[in-house]
Amino acid sequence: MTKSPPIHLPTTIDLKKQPHPPTTTPTITLQPISTFHYFASDPPNTERTTAMTQVVVVDSIRTGLAKAHRGTFNLTRSDELVSHCIDALLERNPAVDPAEIEDVILGAGRQIGEQSGNMARHAVVLSKLPISVPATTVSRACSSGLNSIAMAATQIASGCAEVAMAGGVESITGLERGTPGQHDEHPRLLEQKPDVFMAMGNTAEVVARRYKVSREAQDEYALQSQQRYAIAEQAGHIAEEISPMSVQWRKVVNRETQETEVVEGTVDRDECNRPTTTLEGLAKLKPAFEADGSVTAGNASQLSDGASMTLLMAEKRAEQLGLEPLAYFRGFTVAGCEPDEMGIGPVFAIPKLLQYKKLTLDDIDLVELNEAFASQCLYCRDRLDIDNAIYNVNGGSIAIGHPFGMTGSRLTGLLVRELRRRGKKLGIVSMCIGKGMGAAGLFEAC
């Protein structure tokens, strides 16, 4: 190969030999910015201080949960589910100027296909929010909805925002639309830590075996979830969380031939609850993930589609708008654990949260821990010594399903309402996270 000749740079520059600058400065005409307003009126808090702002949950809303593939949302995209929830929050809170929303943070467990390309921004454009409202999509698997709320709350607490929306979505049906991308997993991970890719159902079996959670105990817990949810629904508590959504969907009109037809439908409730469930019926179900296992379709969370969004605000701004918040956001922690037992993540995240806030479980009035699987729910409850009377009091994902990115926001809306309903003070939202993590958030009723 021929070498290039060396480049010699001068040690001094003779300014007299350099090109002269123009004798006149060109004029630049700036166009007035008239279409974008960073605040609804004047900046609401021009004198920023270093003190942390109190953050409140003003409202939280969700769609009903529809069965994946067979349910009423099987033709509805994730961004449409989110835009519906955004518009519902605006309609329910007319004192809030849409232009005052300073960020939209959205959790989505799997960001592929229709859920890729910063879906949150698409949802904002589809909604009644002005184009000046920014948005971002984040993922920490099953904690994504709660993580988004924590991110928005921290942004407000820092003094760099006053109003934000956060939540989550998952269309498990939609994940299978389109052409899936293909890739190879990292070879060193496959060799040294293959459990990081273990299917969630198999991790639930690991927890059941390793910590001796029996099939009978799992089925009993699953029955409790179905029954508690049915009682809450009959009392009208669930309807408070849901904004009905009318859509077109593909319905099977002939089970024998599997003939389908596109029809109109309204999701105004959760489609998955089975209130007539019995222990005898649960006992007849075959293991879903391992031939000799104990995890079944009856004691695991169902596959479903849905979205939830939460309105967060600086307490002072809520007071100025005459709003009555539901709760204060008090903190959020995450922790890691072995991937093959990812279901026990809350066992590490909850004590970490309590330690930071100088609390004990005796100070906590309600705990909402996502029911991914009965095996991990039971182990977390008993390992942390949580009273079953304050644990998932309205049932959970085993009864109605778990759209991965959405559940954290749904649980937040449930918790803050239930704290107020019972006249209680402190509650925790927690969940296990795929690949070996746990998350926990603390809320205090207003």
What pLDDT digit, counting tens, does each position of 92-140 carry?
999 999 999 999 999 999 998 889 999 999 999 999 999 999 999 999 9
Return the closest-CA partner of residue 168 out of 273, 71, 61, 309: 309
Q: Is 85 a catalytic residue?
A: no
* Residue 3: per-residue pLDDT: 45
Q: Is 380 a catalytic residue?
A: no
Between strands 259-267 and 104-108, the pairing is unpaired
Q: Is 432 a catalytic residue?
A: yes
* Residue 45: per-residue pLDDT: 53
Q: Which CATH class is domain 55-173+196-445?
A: alpha beta
Of 2 and 371, the one with more pLDDT: 371
* Residue 238: per-residue pLDDT: 97
What pLDDT digit, counting tens, does each position of 313-340 carry?
999 999 999 999 999 999 999 999 999 9
To which residue do tokens 């029954």 refer? 227
The string over 384-404, giving b where at least 16 C-beta atoms fall within 10 Å of a residue's C-beta and e elsewhere, is bebeeebbbbbbbbbbbbbbb
Amino acid identity of residue 424, one-letter, is K
Token digits of residue 169: 């979505």
When the pLDDT of each residue in the chain is averaged and rounded to a whole number, the result is 91
* C-beta separation of 385 from 367 below 8 A: no
Q: 3-state class of 244 per DSSP?
A: coil
Q: In the chain, what are the domain boundaries?
A: 55-173+196-445
pTM score, two decimals? 0.89
Question: Is residue 156 scored above 50 in pLDDT?
Answer: yes
84, 85, 122, 142: the catalytic one is: 142
Question: Is residue 146 scored above 80 in pLDDT?
Answer: yes
85, 122, 337, 402: the catalytic one is: 402
Helix (H), strand (E) at residue 271: none
Rounded to an integer, the average pLDDT of 58-67 is 98
